Amino acid sequence: MTIARLDLLNGPCPSTPKFVNTTLDFNNFDYQPTDQNLTLFYDCPSEVSGLDGAKNFSCGLDNTANYFVNESFTGIDELFEKCHRHIRVPVLGSTALINESLGLQKVLNQGFDVDYHNSWAITCLGCEDSGGTCGFNSSSHPFVCLCRDGDRQPLFCSKHTRTKNIKLIVGLAGLGLGVLLTCITICWLRRKRSITSIQFFMKKTKNELDLEAFIRNYGPLALTRYKFSDIKKFTNSFKVKLGQGGYGAVYKGELLNGHLVAVKVLNASKGNGDEFINEVASISRTSHVNIVALLGFCLEGQKRALIYEFMPNGSLEKFIHSGNIETTIPLLGLEKLFQIAIGIARGLEYLHRGCNTRILHFDIKPHNILLDEDFLPKISDFGLAKLSPRNESNISMAVARGTIGYIAPEVFNRNFGGVSHKSDVYSYGMMILEMVGGRKNIDVGISNTSEIYFPHWIYKRLEQHNDLGFPDNMTIEENAMVRKMILVGLWCIQTNPFDRPSMSKVIEMLEGNIEALQIPPKPFLSSPPRSLGEESSTTC
């Protein structure tokens, strides 16, 4: 069927309480492949008026600009950053911004296509096998099992209901018919065993059903769903392995259109699909030049894979962990290294402030920063991410998560403060100290009492104005870049989360005047024990 938003039928400018994205009851409906998202931006500043491809519309207010674009619009990041409000509305892909003769209102009024589906096939089998009839109740639970005695059960008719039926049959047949009673008892036992088998099957597949329900609720329209046979085909049976992580391996692939991709195949034995859910839930909400793009996914029972844009220069880790400053900096060049630090900061600022829901990454480290052909950095691997309302400062967390050497103190010990977006700031600070120092902040070969040694060393040298060991031929501008990265890194790793700057402030510090930066207080540096909980992505 085709449906449209009622609040947009008379104009593309809803009242303030209704600036919300289109939502569906995914228990009953799915989007059609012919649908695509149209994004409407409201109350935009005048400086974005020159964006090619952005169509403007009026809400009858002076001194405001409003635009609508489709998901492939290249300047959508600027609109997300500068416009005060936006909503996403599905429309028919054949009409959205393609037919110039159709105005915005006609496109909205034409609506979009949906399919009605029944996701209760297994549950229905269990209901019928227990002697009931499958039903639907829209006012309470979407599925009900209608039993013969008039009862309505959530899944299947109870043992009590079946017993009453058996007693009725026995009463009608007569207590003296022992043979008939024996037959009824045998049938009852077989039926009970059949229901037990169905319950076991339902329990066994509950995780798969939960993942499917999640995809229906949160899967974005722009993502393509692939079969596992397709994954094997465009990775050439997983011939080229790009890397290995705690939750699976990454392989190089090529789509039918020749587009290169990176395919992350998740381990079936790891968790209950949390990695898969975290990746799709968080990264599908993003659209930023410094965030890696998720192009598609595969979900076939225990077989799960995520398809990302291919980053030809791999991870930042291989460029900065040479163990020697004099050989690390020439690999990228100090100017490029500095721009990479700023790009990562912009990506994190977007996750913390640019989305309707704040996204906390919890695993910022060089290994999870990918570089494209122009060495533009992109944040990847959202397997440990958590979503948080933007108006909530702290979040709850059952166990610590992250990688040893980058985890903020409050993540593994609440005595240091609450867990918040400032925990990502700490990880970022540790990472840029590694970038400028050319070696890891933590050495697994030394004792726990002095694990994080490089920040201590560099702070002492900075405080005493001693030589930091950088090349002698650096220019004044390069020296300023190095000092900025060091000072910003030390501010970011302050023990008290409140003393750390926000990512917006970090960008301001990196792009501002070096003379405005002060040496921060010396942080009490520490890291969690090596036996940190299950959610750590690595322990070394």
**In which region does residue 174 sit, left (phi positive, over 0), alpha (psi from -120 to 50) or beta (all else)?**
left
Q: Side chain identity at 389, as an amino acid letter?
A: P
Q: Residue type for 371, please?
A: L
3-state class of 467 per DSSP? coil
Separation of alpha carbons 418 and 428, rounded Å:
18
Spatial contact of 258 and 270, defined as CB atoms under 8 Å apart: no
Residue 324 main-chain phi, psi, to 5 deg? -145, 120
d(CA 133, CA 127): 6
Q: Does 25 participate in catalysis according to the annotation?
A: no
Tokens of 398: 């059952």
Euclidean distance between the first and final Cα of the chain, in Å? 54
Nearest 5°: the CA angle 150, 152, 153 is 135
Q: Distance (Å, rounded) from C-alpha 254 to C-alpha 230? A: 11
Contact of 66 with 46, CB cutoff 8 Å: no
- Rounded CA-CA distance 62/208 in Å is 52
Q: How far is CA 210 from the centre of its chain?
A: 17
Residues in the annotated binding site: 264
Q: Which residues contribute to the annotated binding site for ATP?
A: 264
- HSE, CB side, 13 Å, CA atoms: give it for residue 214: 20
Place of tokens 């006012």: 139
Token output for 59? 């809400």
- H helical segments located in 140-177: 159-173
**C-alpha to C-alpha distance for 146 and 152, rounded to whole angstroms:** 5
Q: Which one of the listed residues 113, 230, 363, 424 is annotated catalytic? A: 363
Nearest to 427 by CA among 478, 328, 338, 503: 503
Residues in the chain: 540
DSSP reduced 3-state for 36:
strand
Residues identified as active-site: 363
